[in-house]
Structure 1
Amino acid sequence: MPAPIAPVGEQRLLVIDDHALVRMGVRTLVAQQFAGHYAVEEAGSLEQGLALLAGAQGRIVLVLLDLQLPDAKGFAGLRILRRDHPEVPVVVLSGAQDLRIREEALRLGARAYICKSADAATVDTWVEVLRQHAAPRPDAAAAPMAPAGSPALRTAHGLGLSPRQVQVLELLLAGLDNQAIATETGLTLGTVKNCVSSIFLGFNVRSRAELLGMFPT
C-alpha cells in the first residue's frame, strides 16, 4: 500500500521496490531511528517512483532503489534517476552480494550499496547509510572538517563528505585496513566498507594506493 502523503514541508525518503516486505521494513526502520524527521514514500515500480519524485517539490531527500523492478532491470533505473534527478542521492538495494555489481552501482552515481539481509550487521549498515545521506546533521557546518595543514581533509570538505566519512578517511590515510578502522571507530565492518566506497567515489579513485598517491607524506 502506498505511503500516506506527508505534510507540506516534511522531508521524505522514497523506497522503490516491488517487494512489500522490503518497503515495510524500511518504513519500520525509519520510524524507529528517525521518528518525526521523515515520512516514507513507497513505489512498487520505477514509473511510480518517478511520478512521486515529480510531485514531491524537492522534499524527497533520499531514494532507496531496488535493482530488479518490473519495469527496470539491472542499472536501468539508476541511470534514469541520475539523469532525471541528479540532485537526489540514490542508495542501491540488492539481493546480490557481488563486488562487481557494487562497484558499477557506485561508478554510476549511487551513494551506497546495501544488501537485503536481515542480519544485525546489515541492519547497522542500513541505519548508518540513512544517517549519512538523509538524516540532518546540525553540527556538520560548525564542526571543523579538517586541520588547516591537511590537503586531503580540506579536499574532503569540498567534496561534502560526512563527518563519519572524514573520520574513516583520516584512518585510511594513516594506513589502517577496514577491520582496524572498524575496531578503532566502533563501526560495523559493513559500514566501514560503505564509507570507504563513498570516499573512493568522491576522490575518483579505485584503491587505497591511488588515494594515498594523491597525498604523499
Structure 2
Amino acid sequence: MSIDDHELVRLGLRQVIVQRFGERFEVAEARSLEEALQFLSARANTVLLLLLDLHLGDTRGLAGLKLLRQRYPHLPIVVVSGTHDGRVREEALALGAQGYFCKTGDAGGLSGLVDTIERISTGTHAADQTPQGPMAQNTTARSQTVKPGVRLTNREIQLLELVLNGLDNQAIAAETGLALGSVKNGVSSIFLAFNVRSRAALMRLFA
C-alpha cells in the first residue's frame, strides 16, 4: 500500500512495482494517514507492506510511522520520503521501518526499494531486519501497552505530533491557530485514547 499525498509519487511507485513484479501485487493507495488507517481497519490482513511518506496533509515527521507501528506492529513499513536528513533516517529505522528511501528517483534508490519489497515478499526481511536487544524489548512493550483499536481524528493526529515534539498547550495553540481550550480538549482526548494521564506517560509509549 502506498501512502503519499502527491498523486505523481503514487503513480510513480505503482509503475515501478508493476514493471518489476507484474501482477504479483495489487497496489492500494491512500492520500492521508487517516485514509490509510480506514483502509487498514478493514483490510490490514491483506496488506504485504506499507510505503509511507513522512509528510502528509494530516501528519508530519515520524508521528505517522509511530502510530502505524503501534497499531499494526507486525506490518512491515518502508519509508519513501523527500527528507534527506540522516538523523531522521536513523530514527525511522530505529522505530522499526524496514527501509528508508528518498524520492530522488536515482537508480540506486529505486533498486534498493525494489530489493526491499522482494525481501519482504519472500519473508527474508525477518532475519535481516528484526531488532535485537533493548530495541526489541521496547517494541514488544509498546505493542502490549497501546491498544490496537485506538482511533484518532485528523486533528488529534496533528496534536499528537506536536505533543511528541515537546510543545505545551500554549505553544500548540500558537502553532495551529486553535483556541487554547480546544487544544486542551484535544490533548485530553488523546490521553483518553491511549489510556494515559500525562504527557510524560504518552511520550514513553512512543519512546
SS of the aligned residue for 2:131 comes to helix
- Return the offset for 1:57: 4.8
Q: Which letter does structure 2 place at the counterpart of 1:73? A: R
Q: Which letter does structure 2 place at the counterpart of 1:69? A: L
Q: Distance in 1 between matches of 2:14 and 2:36?
A: 16
TM-score normalised to the size of structure 1?
Answer: 0.58
**Which blocks of at least 5 consecutive residues in structure 2 are unaligned?**
136-207
- Return the offset for 1:160: 2.9
How many pairs does the alignment contain? 135
Trace 1:11-30 onto structure 2 (pairs within 5 A).
14-30=1-17
Q: Which letter does structure 2 place at the counterpart of 1:203? A: Q
Q: Distance in 2 between matches of 1:81 and 1:30?
A: 22
**Alignment counterpart, residue 203 of structure 1, candidates 132, 138, 146:** 132
- % identity of equivalent residues: 40
Q: Which letter does structure 2 place at the counterpart of 1:202? A: P
- Return the offset for 1:118: 1.1
Q: Does 1:126 align with 2:113?
A: yes
Q: Does 1:77 align with 2:64?
A: yes
**Which blocks of at least 5 consecutive residues in structure 1 are unaligned?**
1-13, 141-158, 166-197, 207-217
Q: Which has the higher helix share?
A: 2
Q: Distance in 1 between matches of 2:44 and 2:68?
A: 15
Trace 1:1-150 onto structure 2 (pairs within 5 A).
14-133=1-120, 135-136=121-122
- Return the offset for 1:41: 0.4
Q: Do the aligned partners of residues 204 and 91 (structure 1) sit closer, same or farther apart at CA in structure 2, a change above 3 Å counting?
A: farther
SS of the aligned residue for 1:93 comes to strand
Residues 150-187 of structure 1: CA deviation (Å, up to 9, x unaligned): xxxxxxxxx932xxx4xxxxxxxxxxxxxxxxxxxxxx
Q: Which letter does structure 2 place at the counterpart of 1:39? A: E
Q: Which has the higher strand share?
A: 1
**Alignment counterpart, residue 160 of structure 1, candidates 114, 118, 126:** 126
SS of the aligned residue for 1:56 comes to helix
RMSD: 2.1
- Return the offset for 1:205: 8.8
- Return the offset for 1:44: 0.4
Q: Distance in 2 between matches of 1:160 and 1:49?
A: 24
Q: Distance in 1 between matches of 2:133 and 2:15?
A: 35
Q: Which letter does structure 1 place at the counterpart of 2:8? A: L
Q: Which letter does structure 2 place at the counterpart of 1:136? A: T
Q: Distance in 1 between matches of 2:58 and 2:12?
A: 22
